[in-house]
């Protein structure tokens, strides 16, 4: 099969209708260019150019090769570029897992910044419970995962992405919601029922929440959530309980709910998890995009 270099030589000569001009454009000697065209014609078994002392004209076979050869070269160029993109980390696939709580704002913001910086990388996203994200990054099923308060794990690297301010979510008719949206002192929760995910779902998050109460010297009633994800916050909306949630959830809150930030200020950590071993280029690019986004958004500054 004729190689692409000779095909490109032929296309240039046919377009220029001149060996002299084509040789100058290709930066090759004219005799060498003539030899390459003759070899191409020999390989294909057909004359491609009619040569006279005055001009060079493509034959009927040459015109067919011109019409289809240009598209072939363009496709080859795209192919080489795409394949080389894997080496540079600008092509490929990134498998990304995130927990429900990070899906309100943090994960979408990070993924949008990553996609803008690296449009050639396809991102596969999965909404998963925290234990499955930890396991997936550890076994390589996921390239990266975004979770709150992950435990130290030997084979995983935790990169702090956000210090997210926490507040109390309650029904608008709740006594603590009436007439105020100012910070709420933690001690006001002494006699409240606080809705929490089961500790097994994310021990780090559970312990961080209960530590807020311990530091304040209170012991509110704790009620385990029956649903792993409840966008309507039904027990809270009914007035059966209050819950501790991060400020990133505020834009999507249903009507009838009120959020008051906690006082003293309480924050929970959101981390990007990657494997401690060899990282593929897309993962490295994600870490860089995450760092830039966290800085520009001010996510790493502790709220005052």
Domain count, the chain: 3
**pLDDT tens string 218-240:** 999 999 998 888 888 999 999 99
What's the CATH number where 36 sits? 1.10.10.10
**26 lies in some domain:** yes
Q: Which of 49, 61, 125 is closest to 93 using CA atoms? A: 125
* pLDDT value at residue 85: 59
> Same structural domain for residues 247 and 170?
yes
Examine the fold and report which residue of 73, 88, 103 is the final residue of a domain before the chain moves on: 88
The whole-number average pLDDT for the span 173-192 is 90
Examine the fold and report which residue of 88, 122, 142 is the final residue of a domain before the chain moves on: 88
> Sorting pLDDT into bands at 50, 70 and 90, what band is 14?
confident
* Three-state helix/strand/coil letters over the chain: CCCHHHHHHHHHHHHHCCHHHHHHHHCCCHHHHHHHHHHHHHHHCCCCEEECCCCEEECHHHHHHHHHHHHHHHHHHHHHHHHHHHHHCCCEEEEEEECHHHHCCHHHHHHHHHHHHCCCEEEEEEECCHHHHHHHHHHCCCCEEEEECCCCCCCEEEEEEEEEEEEEEEECCCCCCCCCCCCEEHHHHCCCEEEECCHHHCHHHHHHHHHHHHHHCCCCEEEECCCCCCCCCHHHHHCCCEEEEEHHHHHHCCCCEEEEEEECCCEEEEEEEEECCCCCHHHHHHHHHHHHHHHHHCCCCCCC
**302 lies in some domain:** no
> Same structural domain for residues 150 and 282?
yes
**pLDDT tens string 259-280:** 999 999 999 999 999 999 877 8
> Sorting pLDDT into bands at 50, 70 and 90, what band is 200?
very high
> Sorting pLDDT into bands at 50, 70 and 90, what band is 20?
confident
* pLDDT value at residue 232: 85
**Cα pseudo-dihedral 178, 182, 184, 185, rounded to 10:** -130
The share of the chain scoring above pLDDT 90, in percent, equals 61
> Same structural domain for residues 74 and 132?
no
> Same structural domain for residues 219 and 138?
no
* pLDDT value at residue 1: 44
> Same structural domain for residues 167 and 251?
yes
Average of per-residue pLDDT values in the chain: 90
What's the CATH number where 281 sits? 3.40.190.10
**pLDDT tens string 69-94:** 888 878 877 767 666 655 556 678 99
Q: Which domain holds residue 28?
A: 4-88
**pLDDT tens string 83-126:** 665 555 667 899 999 999 999 999 999 999 999 999 989 999 99
> Same structural domain for residues 82 and 97?
no
> Same structural domain for residues 231 and 287?
no
Residue 291 tokens read as: 């760092």
């Amino acid at each position: 099969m004729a190689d692409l270099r000779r095909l490109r030589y032929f296309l240039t000569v046919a377009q220029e209708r001149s060996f002299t001009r084509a040789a100058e454009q290709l930066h090759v000697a004219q005799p060498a260019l003539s030899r390459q065209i003759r070899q191409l014609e020999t390989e294909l078994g057909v004359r491609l150019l009619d040569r006279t002392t005055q001009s060079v004209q493509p034959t009927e076979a040459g015109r067919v090769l011109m019409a289809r050869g240009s598209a072939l070269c363009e496709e080859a160029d795209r192919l080489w570029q795409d394949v080389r993109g894997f080496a540079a980390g600008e092509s490929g696939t990134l498998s990304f897992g995130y927990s429900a709580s990070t899906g309100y704002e943090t994960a979408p913001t990070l993924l949008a910044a990553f996609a803008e910086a690296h449009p050639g990388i396809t991102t596969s996203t999965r909404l998963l419970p925290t234990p499955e994200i930890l396991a997936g990054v550890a076994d390589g099923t996921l390239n990266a995962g975004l979770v709150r308060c992950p435990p130290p794990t030997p084979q995983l690297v935790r990169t702090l992405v956000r210090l997210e301010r926490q507040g109390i979510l309650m029904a608008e008719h709740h006594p603590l919601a009436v007439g105020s949206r100012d910070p709420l002192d933690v001690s006001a929760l002494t006699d409240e029922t606080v809705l929490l995910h089961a500790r097994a779902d994310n021990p780090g998050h559970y312990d961080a929440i209960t530590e807020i109460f311990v530091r304040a010297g209170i012991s509110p009633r704790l009620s385990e959530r029956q649903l792993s994800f409840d966008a309507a916050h039904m027990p809270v909306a009914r007035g059966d309980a209050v819950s501790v949630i991060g400020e990133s959830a505020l834009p999507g809150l249903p009507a009838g709910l009120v959020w008051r930030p906690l006082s003293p200020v309480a924050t929970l950590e959101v981390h990007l998890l990657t494997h401690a071993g060899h990282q593929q280029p897309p993962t490295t690019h994600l870490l860089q995009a995450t760092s830039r986004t966290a800085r520009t958004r001010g996510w790493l500054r502790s709220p005052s």
